[in-house]
Amino acid sequence: RPESLVGLALAHESLSNCLHAMSRWGDAIAEQRAAAAIWDRRVAATPGSQSLQRARSRSYQELASLYDSRGEYHAAVAAAEKSRPFLEADYAAHPDDESARTQLRNAVSRLRVEYSRAGDHPQAIAAAQQIIRMAADTGVISRSTANRDLAQTLIQAGRREEGLVALRHDEDLPLAL
């Protein structure tokens, strides 16, 4: 039954969280992978369900976080990328939906970090630039955070001068260097 599968996925996620708290990374990853597989099956059975798609995306983001905690950055990228197509389509279809924007921004932020850690600096920079575009019509804190993250990504990629320019870019951000 579909609701039983959702309950099972949530149980796997809860167990993964407990195992994560105990630093049992391998077991936590196995439980989170089991949860993601269930969400995959549920989405395949009901592809038009926004709530199931979002739950699946969150599950893969959690899996990426676990891989990151274990230092498996390429696996973290692969897991995080699985959530991106739906979240981008959801945001494109609902640009005024704050939840769609937030979920995509969180996913792209995770990817920015994972790409950097995996040494894929061009993809990390592209992710940071995507966040800048998403934050363009938001408040000063959100825009400043996006500029800071782009600057950090550029600096990590060895592009120090461009990073400093990105920090200075936001007119609303008082900056004394």
Q: Calculate the CA 150 to chain-centre distance.
A: 15
Instruction: Give the mean pLDDT of the chain.
Output: 91
In single-letter form, the type of residue at position 39 comes to W
**What does the pLDDT read at residue 173?**
52
Q: Does the structure show a pLDDT above 60 at 172?
A: no
Cα separation, 82 vs 3, in Å, equals 23
Q: What three-state secondary structure class fits 95?
A: coil
For 16, residues 6+ apart whose C-beta sits below 8 A from its C-beta are 28, 29, 31, 32, 35, 62, 66
Each residue's pLDDT tens digit, 67-122? 999 999 999 999 999 999 999 999 999 999 999 999 999 999 999 999 999 999 99
**What does the pLDDT read at residue 13?**
96
In single-letter form, the type of residue at position 151 comes to A
Residue with tokens 């004394």, as numbered in its chain: 176
Q: Are 104 and 59 in contact (CB under 8 A)?
A: no
Each residue's pLDDT tens digit, 97-109? 999 999 999 999 9
Q: Which helix (H) or strand (E) holds 171?
A: none
Instruction: Find the DSSP H helices in the chain.
Output: 2-21, 25-45, 50-69, 73-93, 98-118, 121-135, 140-156, 160-169
Q: Does the structure show a pLDDT above 80 at 176?
A: no
Q: Are 135 and 142 in contact (CB under 8 A)?
A: yes
